[in-house]
A and B are shown apart, each in its own frame.
Chain A
C-alpha cells in the first residue's frame, strides 16, 4: 500500500472542516463571516495541495492530522466551532510543514 500524500491528508482535513463550518453556520449573525473564513482557509489548503500534493506525508504528520480531525469532531458548540474554523487549518498546515 502506498504512503498517504499531502493531497490525501488535505482531502481528509477539508472534509472534516466542511462539517465544522456547518456547525458554525448555526450562528446566523455570523453566517457570512463563517462562509468567507472557510473559503479563505480552503483556498490556502488548495495552494498547498497544488504545490505539494503528491508528496508523501510521514506517519507522524498523518497521525497529527487525524488527531486534529478527531478534535473538531468533538465540538458541539457552534461558537467554539467558529473559533476552530481558524485554529484547525493552522494546525493542519503546521503539521504539513507549512506556514498559515
Chain B
C-alpha cells in the first residue's frame, strides 16, 4: 500500500521519495534529500528535471537554502523526538522571512497533537502513521482562534484574531 500523508488538510498518497528508497528511483520521481546529500552534489540534483526537496535536521540552518529556495518544491523539517522544537522555528522563518511558497513538511516523531501548532508555523504537510491521519486532519481544527499573528496557511481556514 502506498504511503499516505496529510497535505493541505487532505489525506493523499505521498509521491515523494528519499535517497534511501534505493536505486530503483525513476528519473521523474520527486526526491527529497538531506541537506548534507544535497550540498555534496548540488549541481547534479539541481540538473534533475523532477521535483526536488531538502530535509533539514534540527541543527541545520534553513538560511543555507535561501539561494536555492526557488528551485525547491519541498522543504521538510525532521523531528527525531516529539520534544524537538527547532523545526518550528525553521518552518516559520522559511515562510515568513525567506518567502518559501512550496510544500513545507514535518516528519519524524510527530503525532496529531503537534500538527495544529506546526500548521501555524507554516507547515502544510505531515508525515504520520496511517492510524494518526484521520485524527490529524481533525486536529487542524483544534482551535478556531489565536493570540499571535502567525503564518496559518497550513490550517486551511483563517483563525479568529483580536
Bound pair: A and B? no
Residues of A near any B CB (own CB < 8 A) = none
Residues of B near any A CB (own CB < 8 A) = none
